[in-house]
Every structure is written in structure tokens, then in C-alpha cells.
Amino acid sequence: MKKLIHILVIAFIVGLVCVSCRESDLTNNGEGALSLKIGVQRELPTVSAGKTRATLTDEELLQKCKVYIRNAEGLVRKFATLDEMPEQILLVPDNYKAEVTAGDSVAASFTDSYFKGTKEFTISKGTAISESVVCGIRNTVVSLALSDELQEAFPTYKITVSNRLGTLEYTQDNISQLGYFMLLDDENQLRWNLVGQLNGSGTEITKSGVINLVRKATRYDLTFSNSSSEVGGGMISVNVVETALTTDEKVDILARPVIKIIENDQIYELDNAVYRAQFDKETPIVVRMAASVPFTELKVTSADFARLGITHFSSFDLMELTEVQIRELDNLGFSIQFNADMTKVQFAFKENLREIMTNSIDDGNNTYRFDIEVRDRNGKDRAKTLTVIATDALVATEDIATQNDVWSTKATLYGSLVASVTEMNFRYRAIGSNDWMYSNQAVLNNKIFTSQITGLEPGITYEYQAMAGTVAAKETKQFTTETPAQLPNAGFEDWHGDSPLYIYKSGGEMFWDSGNTGSATLNKNVTTYDAAIKHSGNYSAKLQSQYVALFGIGAFAAGNIFVGKFLKIDGTDGILRFGRPFTSRPSKLVLYYRYVAGTVDYSTLGELPKNSKDMGSIYIALGDWPHQTFDGETDIPVLVKTKPADRQLFDSNSSNVIGYGECILKESTEGEGLIKLEIPINYRSNRKPTDIILVGSASRYGDYFTGSTGSTLWLDDLELIYE
């Protein structure tokens, strides 16, 4: 058998600013390639002089940019950062739309702004295209100013500007700051309120107003002044200047250098994956490095140079080699090439070095490691490791790319081609079993092939081998399926306390909580147990929406239950922790419920006016939210604030949401008992979650103090299903 060599590349090969792509760089699988360049319109037109400009730095944009590529069927590629986006994005022929977002989409903020850009394009077979996406600001931007007369009249003042979900507060100390608002799709108003202490008298002057027909990607400069010689609430006027944010200034995001492997004129970019390629005297191994500006350092280090005959070079910087040294290395079989402006450099193993590697198969000393460190003139750097392993196998079994590929009942297996093979699959079995099971024909992408296997047992260790037809690879790899987790106290049997009533046994560990901590201050519990209406056991959870009041002071409160903790009372509002640690990935939530939908008698929303039918909701989310700390509580996945002035609610569209399922209860259930409900969980990524959020509410819009005091939701016997 002809001796072959395969390449193991342990690398993370990405590029932000893409260079040209040749047809010879494409795969032979009928794909085309997209090179995507990202630009940002960052400067805002300034109408009022002296205003400060809040802009993101390049590094902030690098951390916050996300790229989505969709076709008519939905999302086909997603890059959580630009640093994950490869130099060439391989796509099957089709019509596509690229969407790039940068920054943070926050309801109202002085610091967080949001950018978005889109571009439609078409991929044809075997062709390479280059497209640019320019991201423009999507916020509604607000600046404020007071006339000299008003500043003299009001030495201290407060101005609030609000949209439906957030409020910013301006004072004499921060009046020069820009405010960034994110409008809902159906929202076209900003509300403002000015309160000033009249100089010399202490009289409080108040003036409120509304800016109508407000638009996204538009700046509004508000100038407050007095329209007569006397300052009073009725004499304050506001001049509004509207400016569309459509500048042509583009700021490119700087790229880190790219390191890639080339074989037979094909470029291979790998994401912490194992890759193997056929190797003989006709197949060179080429490492190419590219940067957007000239390189300043290109260091290659290997203890294996001596085994290849390069005895007096164990580490060298390609940028510092003399022409004599370059010729010497070339004669030894290590070829180095530069382009004219030093932005592209490559090295290759010539035939004599590849022969030495091939001959090492028999002695077992067949692994060669090369550490590569590069840096460009902008200070951007990258470090990768190339490992070459000589072998005479047809296929190789590879480690599963990440643990994210292993679920409770399914897994994606990885193998690689070493020789030309047309039939590829895998065999697998539980450790200790004598019987192999076989996957379907694997899917080939470049030289990596994968196959998803299903019907696995949770919490079991399996072994697997790549197959070339009926011939198994030499390597055997293992993986262990996820252990399915369930929700504690999911039948709501454990309760303690009186006012507030808690949903766990005394001395036990809290997992569930409710709004009882808030409502109990007014001698009511909105969530209780019910021994009469249940599916099994002794109790169900009864979520009853109510108007909670004491001495005429109160608010509408939805009957609710959630995974987390009620942290703090804020007036008639609450600050909550949503989420508990959870790393499993269920396919659906099954529960038993009864719902009575009342007639809305409290409303702050046009979406659900008085006398309409109330709606309940149940939703589950699994995600990897960055943890927060508040008031001594640590590791909070999502911090929720219900107070209108600084309302902060759960965002189901957040990029941190991995899996999500929801059921909106629009009708009362029939009968007096509980009925079964299944809520499928739709996964947007194969990332492993770190936390789970689950919320049930008798009034869906209870966070907005909207709903019916006649709405009640019973829940019992929640179960997570793994399929």
C-alpha cells in the first residue's frame, strides 16, 4: 500500500477583513465563496454645538459584532463575533442576505448604541465574490439643551426622556450626553418631562410633552427655552430638530492576521477541528499567512526541525532571515515566499522533507509539531500550531469537535480522509457491548466527514471508529452522552411560610420563586398551592392575578411563578433573579395546566386594553447569559426590574438564548381538571447552556401592570423530555 501522510491541524483560523479569493481556492463540492468586509458608520451629525459624541472603539465593535447569513429557508451561517468569521465563507449556490449587528440593543442608554447593516447577494457554483456590509446606527438618538435664560432660572433641574421600555434622566451634570433609545417596531413616540426649581423662590416648575412620529436611525435635538419674560410651566417651549443619521463615513474594523493551510490549491480553514490530507511527493503542505497591513513578526518554532535535517534552526523569525538563510532553508526543503508589500507570506515543505516524514511511519516517531506566531504593524497577532502525523490509513477517527456536539440521545461523530474514499460512515457501541451499530453515509466537507447518530442512551459512554467502506480506522475515540436533568419540586409539593409563601420545603434549597415577596407586603400571596385542583400528588401551584393594595395604595399583580429568586422590593415593583444553573438540553417541556382567562380590568398597554380577554403565558429558555451581581446576590443569569422608570425585562431574542419554547394561553381551558401541554424547545445553537429560565404567568403582561383580576393559572407535574 502506498504510504500516505495526514495533517492534524489544531487551529482556529479566522479573518475579519477578507482578501481576494481565487476559483482555485474553492472546494470541489459545487460551492461558491463569499468574502465579507464590514464597515461602520459611526459619526453622528451634530446639530447642537458642544455636544459630546459617544462612539464605540474598534475593539468594542470586534467584541460585539455578529454576522448572520440567511437564505429563503432561514439561517445558514452565524458568527458570534467577527473574529470567528473565516476569510472565505463557503456556501451552496443560492440567493442570500447577510445581516451584521454591532453594539448592544438596549431600551435606553447613555453608553450603549446599536448598529445594523444588510446586504443581499447571490452565490454561483465555483465562483468567488466579495461584498461589503456597512452598518449604520439603528438607535433613536436624543440630545438636550437649555437656553441661557432657563439655565439661569433653573440652577437645578431634571429632565426625563422615555420610550415604552426605558427612561433616561438628564440633569445639569449630564445634559451634554447623547441618549440612545431602541424603539419597538410599532413605537413612534418619545415622552419628556422637565422638573425645575425656580431660582430664588423654590417654586417647582413642571412641563411634559410628547415627540410624535419618532423614527429609528434619526437624531432629535431638543432645545428648551422660555417663550416670555416670565418663566413658568406654561411658558416653556421646546424646539425639536430632526436629522436622519445617513452619513457616508465608513470606518473599517481591523482584522487579525490569518493562518491557513493549502493543499492542491485548496484552502482549509478549521475551527479547533482535526484535519487530515493525502500526502505524497506530489502533494505539498503549504502554510499561508495574510494580514491587512504588513507583518512585523513571523516566528516558526519546532523541536522537530532537527529530525528533518534543519539542525541549526529550531526557532526563527521569517521577517529577520537574510537572503542567504532563506536560500539555505530552501535547499534543506523548507521553502519561504513573500509578496511585495509583506502582507502575504507562506512556507512549504518540499519533497525531501515530506519523504522524511513518510519514512517515519514505520518507526512510530511520526508526529511533527510547528508553532507559528505572527504579528502585523497594527499590533494584531495570532498564534497557531500545525501538527503533521504520518500514516498509511485510509480514514482517521477524529475527536468530536466540541462537547456541544454530544446531547443526551444524539451526537455528531467526526472523521477525516487520508486517501481518496467514496464510502464513509461510522460504527459505534456502548462501552462493554460486543455489538457495533452503524451510522448512515457520512457527509463530507473538504476532508472532514461527519454523521449524526440518534437513539442513544443518556449518561452512557460510547466508543466509535471512522469507516472506509467496511474497513475501520485504527483510532478509537469515546464520548459520553449528557445526563438528563429534571426540575426540582416540579410537582409543587413542597411549600413553607405564610406571608410570603415560599415554593420549597423549610430548610431546603430554593429553586422556584414567585411575586409573593412583593405582594405579601400588602398581606396577599399571588401564588399559592391548591389541594382541590391538581394532576397528581397533594398540590398544584395556583397563580392568581390580583389587585394588591393597602390603605388605597397598590398595583395590579399577575399570579406568577419562575425559576429564580425575588431579590428586592422597589416601591410597588420588584427586582428579580431569573435563572438557575442547568447544563442539559431537553427537547420539550411537558406539564399539566388549567387556565381561566378573565376580562382585563387593569391596563397600561394598547395591545391589551380594558374589557379585552386576558392572556397567560408559559415559557422556557436555556442559555449562557453573562452572570451579574446585585445587592449581594451573585451569579445572576438575568436581572429583571419591573419599575417603569428603569424597566429591564427578559429578552427572548437575546443572542445568549440557546433554546426557547413558549405557549401563550389565549383561551380558558375546558372542564374543571388539568390538561396536558407540550412546549417544544427550539434550539438556535448547539452550544451547551449554563442556566435555565422558566416562567409561568396568569397575566402575560403583568410586568406592565396589565391584566385581569379574574385570571388564574394552575400548574402541576412539569417534566423535561429528552429525545
User: pLDDT tens for residues 451-477?
Assistant: 999 999 999 999 999 999 888 988 899
Give the pLDDT score at 232: 45
User: CA 604 → CA 9, 32, 610, distances in Å?
Assistant: 59, 52, 9
CA 25 – CA 130 distance, rounded (Å):
14
- Type of residue found at 118: T
Closest CA to 210 of 229, 243, 187: 187
Residue 14 has pLDDT above 80, yes or no: no
- 210's grid cell: 410628547
Closest CA to 161 of 182, 188, 142: 142
CB 682 within 8 Å of CB 589: no
Q: Around Cβ 209, how many Cβ atoms within 10 Å?
A: 16
Cβ-based neighbours of 186, under 8 Å, separated by 6 or more: none
CB 404 within 8 Å of CB 449: no
Residue 550 has pLDDT above 80, yes or no: no
Give the pLDDT score at 159: 93
CA 261 – CA 256 distance, rounded (Å):
17
Strands (E), 350-487: 367-376, 381-391, 395-398, 411-417, 424-430, 437-438, 443-445, 448-453, 461-468, 471-472, 477-480
Q: Around Cβ 182, how many Cβ atoms within 10 Å?
A: 22
CB 562 within 8 Å of CB 529: no
Give the pLDDT score at 567: 94
Work out the percent of the chain whose per-residue pLDDT is above 70: 85
Work out the percent of the chain whose per-residue pLDDT is above 90: 42
Phi and psi angles of residue 403, each rounded to the nearest 5 degrees, phi first: -65, -15
CB 415 within 8 Å of CB 468: no
Give the pLDDT score at 282: 58
Q: Is residue 113 classed as helix, strand or coil in its secondary structure?
A: coil
Give whichever of 176-180, 323-327, 376-380, 593-597 has the largest mean pLDDT. 593-597
177-192 mean pLDDT: 88
pLDDT single digits (tens) 560-611:
999 999 999 887 788 999 999 999 999 999 999 999 999 999 988 888 899 9
Task: Count the alpha carbons within 13 Å of 720 in the hemisphere toward its beta carbon.
Answer: 25
CA 114 – CA 61 distance, rounded (Å):
10
242-255 mean pLDDT: 56
Q: Do the strands 501-502 and 285-290 form a parallel or antiparallel pair, or are they unpaired?
A: unpaired
Give the pLDDT score at 265: 59
More confident residue, 641 or 393: 641
User: CA 358 → CA 4, 395, 474, 619, 719, distances in Å?
Assistant: 7, 16, 17, 58, 56
Buried b (16+ CB within 10 A) or exposed e, 654-678: ebbbbbbbbbebeeebeeeebeebe
Beta bridge partners of 546: 557
More confident residue, 246 or 435: 435
Q: Around Cβ 249, how many Cβ atoms within 10 Å?
A: 10
Handedness of CA 255, 260, 266, 271 (dihedral sign): negative
CB 659 within 8 Å of CB 407: no
63-69 mean pLDDT: 80
Provide the phi-psi class of 107: left if phi over 0, else alpha when psi is between -120 and 50, else beta: alpha
Confidence band, pLDDT 50/70/90 cuts, at residue 248:
very low
Q: What is the pTM of this model?
A: 0.55
110-137 mean pLDDT: 84
pLDDT single digits (tens) 256-315:
788 887 765 566 654 433 344 445 555 677 888 888 789 999 999 999 999 999 988 889
CA 102 – CA 80 distance, rounded (Å):
11
Residue 316 has pLDDT above 60, yes or no: yes
Q: Around Cβ 474, how many Cβ atoms within 10 Å?
A: 13
Q: Long-range contacts of range 439-444, CB-CB < 8 Å, 24 or more positions apart?
A: 439/413, 442/413, 442/415, 444/29, 444/417
* Angle formed at CA 428 by CA 423 and CA 433, multiple of 5 degrees: 145
More confident residue, 155 or 678: 678
User: CA 121 → CA 67, 76, 136, distances in Å?
Assistant: 15, 14, 19
- 436's grid cell: 457495533
541-551 mean pLDDT: 81
Give the pLDDT score at 21: 32
CB 447 within 8 Å of CB 394: no
- Type of residue found at 539: Y
CA 399 – CA 676 distance, rounded (Å):
41
- 75's grid cell: 439561517
CA 101 – CA 118 distance, rounded (Å):
9
DSSP run (H or E) holding 148: helix 148-153
364-377 mean pLDDT: 87
Residue 7 has pLDDT above 50, yes or no: no
Mean pLDDT for the chain?
83
More confident residue, 523 or 58: 523
- As separate numbers, helices (DSSP H) first and strands (DSSP E) second, the chain gives 5, 56
pLDDT single digits (tens) 227-237:
554 444 446 78
In whole angstroms, how large is the CA radius of gyration of the chain?
A: 31
